[in-house]
Amino acid sequence: MASPRTVEEIFKDYSSRRSALVRALTIEADEVYVQCDPEKENLCLYGHPNESWEVTLPAEEVPPELPEPALGINFARDGMTRKDWLSLVAVHSDCWLLSVGFYFGARLNRNERKRLFSMMNDLPTLFEIVTGRKPVEDKPSVDGGSKSKNSTKRSIDGQARNNSKLSYVEDEDEHGDTLCGSCGGNYNADEFWIGCDICERWYHGKCVKITPAKAESIKQYKCPSCSTKKSRH
């Protein structure tokens, strides 16, 4: 398969690898955590252009065909909390994605590189997604950064629901910083969202398979990650 050469081709490759890593560090984080056994040899987390991820040994050839991800992420797993470990892996994965993108973009001119970085930078970083942080350039919300948006979200019948974390986002200016905890995408005012009552992350209803009708019957919503954590204890 030919290496991507144009800005658009390189960005497509970047986006596909990124999508794989978003999934690996969020909805499929349990599987990554188990595979990163500290008793094994140096392991790396790869995101592939076909949107699959893989925890495996680094490439044997030196120098490698592409820049390599952080080596030995499994050794740090048990030395910190799960959340901190996933955040650390996310930071290193962000660096790796950029390095692969600019490896492919080495022959681009200055303006093309600038455009490529701008396209990459428009997407939330893995670190922002995993930690639930807002991009630094975003404006602080009027409630001082609280994740709860009950004051401005309403149920589908238009009535205020003070105790509900489900609904359509109404105010695009105020809530433009909202990122889906599953796919990492920005919200769309026409889409249904639901918030987890445990970790307070927000999700596209379609990403967690919750419809507006189903959400109406849920008293306390737990996202897939929080539901899994509870079942392990």
Write the DSSP assignment of 146-166 as a string of letters: -S--TTTEE-TTS-B-TT--E
Taking 80 as the threshold, does the pLDDT of residue 28 lie above it?
A: yes
Model confidence band, residue 103 (pLDDT cutoffs 50, 70, 90) = very high
Higher pLDDT, 69 or 203: 69
pLDDT score at 156:
35
Model confidence band, residue 119 (pLDDT cutoffs 50, 70, 90) = very high
Helix (H, G, I), strand (E, B) or coil at 204: strand
pLDDT score at 22:
96
CA quadruple 186, 154, 217, 199: dihedral, nearest 10: 50
Mean pLDDT of 180-189: 79
Query: What does the alpha-carbon distance between residue 106 and residue 4 come to, in Å, rounded to a whole number?
Result: 11
- Residues 12/4, Cβ–Cβ less than 8 Å: yes
The mean pLDDT of the chain is 81
37: tokens are 């056994």
- Residues 74/38, Cβ–Cβ less than 8 Å: yes
pLDDT score at 49:
96
Question: Per residue in 141-184, pLDDT tens?
Answer: 444 443 433 333 333 333 333 344 555 544 444 555 678 888 88
Question: Per residue in 58-85, pLDDT tens?
Answer: 988 888 889 999 999 999 999 999 999 9
Taking 60 as the threshold, does the pLDDT of residue 220 lie above it?
A: yes
Integer Rg of the chain from CA: 19
Query: What does the alpha-carbon distance between residue 65 and residue 217 come to, in Å, rounded to a whole number?
Result: 52
Angstrom distances, CA of residue 40 to CA of 22, 77, 155, 203 = 24, 12, 49, 34
Question: Which has the closest alpha carbon to 22: 177, 133, 126, 123?
Answer: 126
pLDDT score at 46:
97
pLDDT score at 159:
37
* Model-wide pTM > 0.75: no
Least confident among 10-24, 41-55, 96-110, 188-202: 188-202
Q: What letters, b where the CB count within 10 A reaches 16 and e where it falls short, cover 126-153?
A: bbbbbeebbeeeeeebeeeeebebbebb
Question: Per residue in 163-173, pLDDT tens?
Answer: 445 555 444 44
227: tokens are 């539901």
Query: What does the alpha-carbon distance between residue 211 and residue 209 come to, in Å, rounded to a whole number?
Result: 7
